[in-house]
Amino acid sequence: MSHLFEHKGADGKGYSQPEPILSVDSLRLPDSMKRSAAPRWPRLSEPEMVRHYTWLSNRNFGIDTGFYPLGSCTMKHNPRVNEVIAQIPGIADLHPLQPEHQIQGILAIFHEMQEMLAVCSGMNSVTLQPVAGAQGEFTAIRCIQEYFRTRGELGRTKVIVPDSAHGTNPASAAMAGFEIVEIPSREDGRLDLDALRAVVGDDTAAMMITNPSTLGIFEPEVAEAANIVHEAGGQMYYDGANFNAILGRTSPGLMGFDAVHYNLHKTFSQPHGGGGPGSGPIGVRSHLAEFLPGPVVKRRPVMPQDRLTNANNEWWYQWHFPKNSIGKVQQWHGNAGAVIRSWAFYRRFGRELKTMSEHAVLNANYLRHMIHNIAVERGLDHLFCDGAPVDVVKHEFTLSLASLKEKSGVGAMDIAKGLLDRGYMAPTVYFPLIVPECVMIEPTETESKEVLDLFAERFVDILAEDPEVLHQAPTTTPVRRVDEVYAARNLTLAHPFEEE
């Protein structure tokens, strides 16, 4: 069985529906909009339904089933207390259209979240609207576009990205209509300022960059890059996916950035939504604030006419639409549940949030060294090398398996699939593109030393595995190797019903 529709279940009687409040006839719908046949819902009893979804969940690999060393877009443990707080009825049962005097509590949470993100990143204003990092990128780039439009600088049509950039950076800028200018990295993987100087000019709208870079290395010359772009009149955009490496230590504001997105799923423990129920707020400096999508939450001191139920409230919170807003990028007020979970995480750690970044960096460096040490002990270290020649990485690291590929034909994809057979989520592979046969690993701060030690052992085991076995991997998963490009380009989203 692969889906509910194949399940004949309780003979078509295993569900109950409340009586409709209105009959279809009373709605006076045009005939063309009325159903001619009843919907073909699957008809299952409650236990059948529970079994089906439990069965499905068991076929899935997730952070709750095992170690998830996926570099860059990783997931870490989502503390369950976040769920408890997100489900408090006074939060979960609110309707987005309720009047402000009934929702002062959640508005206060949103406001605190905006303030916290602004303080941590060194920005002035934040909107919680975008629902994924990539949507945040697009939103911020649109704000930058509007900024130039209102200043009459219409010739700023180009966005600069380093060749180590995450694919969503050029994609977001291109979606907004910008031309992408890619600059090569230096031999050591770092930002090449000469390459930047060579392309920057009065047609530059922005530079998009993440720091630490996708190689997991900190760009020490990022402030100089910001000077170069600013002197040419451009804006600096910070891809905040790697914010979990620097939080509490430094900030995009200190580095000279004008706009930033935050992936709440990485840094603030909200589950990764895969474009769905995620959250990718953005923060901007004052000169871009008027273009943010609304509504954002503002507060002012309580006044006598405010209809407050709690007389002790000091502040009145209200929705606000920035004056030259680019418009909404999401229905209602963004993804409230995701924001609440991240708020709960931040509230739990408060000023200690920087310990999170320290542990994320410690774990990445520890794992990197363990893999090297074990490989040296077993005489296998000639099969791979570091993606970036630095002593200390930040939250993630890359390995190039080019030597392994040359020697035995086993590539990064084979290793990733082999790890699935050993009970691990596959690391990111073939990204960043500048590292040949790249494997990118991000352990996050939520894994223990024991988990990292065992993974390092298994990772080195696999380098010595029979190439034929690895070419066949995975053999233990519900689905073997799939044609990913075909799957992505030929989505089947509707059940193919047989005509009755």
Ligand X SMILES: Cc1ncc(COP(=O)(O)O)c(C=O)c1O
Select from 89-97, 127-135, 243-251, 382-390 the region that touches ligand X (CB under 6 A): 127-135
Shortest spacing between CB 463 and ligand X, in angstroms = 26
Whether 67 contacts 392, CB under 8 Å: no
The residue type at 102? Q
134 binds ligand X (CB under 6 A): yes
Instruction: Give 78 or 214: the residue with its C-beta nearer to ligand X.
Output: 214
Instruction: Give 216 or 418: the residue with its C-beta nearer to ligand X.
Output: 216
User: Which class for 25: exposed (0-12), middle (13-18), buried (19 or more C-beta within 10 A)?
Assistant: exposed
270 binds ligand X (CB under 6 A): no
Residues 6+ away with beta carbon under 8 Å from 359: 445
263 binds ligand X (CB under 6 A): yes
Question: Which of 226, 241, 260, 425: binder of ligand X (CB under 6 A)?
Answer: 241
Whether 250 contacts 153, CB under 8 Å: no
166 binds ligand X (CB under 6 A): yes
Q: Are strands 235-240 and 204-209 parallel, antiparallel or unpaired?
A: parallel
Secondary structure of 167-187 as H, E, C letters: CHHHHHHHHCCCEEEEECCCC
Q: How far is CA 257 from CA 121, 144, 147, 238, 252, in A?
A: 9, 12, 15, 6, 5
Q: How far is CA 193 from CA 183, 184, 229, 231, 355, in A?
A: 9, 10, 10, 14, 32
Shortest spacing between CB 270 and ligand X, in angstroms = 10
Question: Which of 214, 269, 357, 444: binder of ligand X (CB under 6 A)?
Answer: 214
164 binds ligand X (CB under 6 A): no
Select from 26-34, 131-139, 312-320, 413-421 the region that touches ligand X (CB under 6 A): 131-139
Instruction: Give 158 or 266: the residue with its C-beta nearer to ligand X.
Output: 266
Q: Which residues in 129-139 are b (16+ Cβ under 10 Å) and which e?
A: bbbbbbbbbbb
Q: How many of the chain's residues bind ligand X (CB under 6 A)?
A: 15
269 binds ligand X (CB under 6 A): no
Select from 95-103, 238-246, 307-315, 332-340 the region that touches ligand X (CB under 6 A): 238-246
Question: Which of 42, 278, 295, 334: binder of ligand X (CB under 6 A)?
Answer: 278
% helix, strand, coil for the chain, step of 5: 40, 10, 50
The closest of 153, 155, 267, 157 to 210, measured between CA atoms, is: 267
73 binds ligand X (CB under 6 A): yes
What letter does residue 272 receive in the DSSP assignment? P
Select from 24-32, 132-140, 301-309, 389-397 the region that touches ligand X (CB under 6 A): 132-140
Beta strand extents in 322-431 (DSSP E only) = 385-386, 397-400, 428-429
> What distance in Å separates the CA atoms of residue 126 and residue 289, rounded to the nearest whole number?
8
The closest of 133, 348, 375 to 243, measured between CA atoms, is: 133
Shortest spacing between CB 262 and ligand X, in angstroms = 10
Shortest spacing between CB 87 and ligand X, in angstroms = 23
Select from 42-50, 130-138, 394-402, 488-496 the region that touches ligand X (CB under 6 A): 130-138
Question: Which of 123, 132, 229, 452: binder of ligand X (CB under 6 A)?
Answer: 132
Question: Which of 239, 258, 414, 447: binder of ligand X (CB under 6 A)?
Answer: 239
> What distance in Å separates the CA atoms of residue 327 and residue 325, rounded to the nearest whole number?
5
168 binds ligand X (CB under 6 A): yes
Instruction: Give 128 or 134: the residue with its C-beta nearer to ligand X.
Output: 134
> What distance in Å separates the CA atoms of residue 381 and residue 369, rounded to the nearest whole number?
12
Shortest spacing between CB 375 and ligand X, in angstroms = 26
Shortest spacing between CB 8 and ligand X, in angstroms = 39
Instruction: Give 215 or 289: the residue with its C-beta nearer to ligand X.
Output: 215
Whether 123 contacts 288, CB under 8 Å: no
Question: Which of 9, 133, 293, 418: binder of ligand X (CB under 6 A)?
Answer: 133
Binding site for ligand X (CB under 6 A): 72-73, 132-134, 166, 168, 210, 214, 239, 241-242, 263, 278, 280
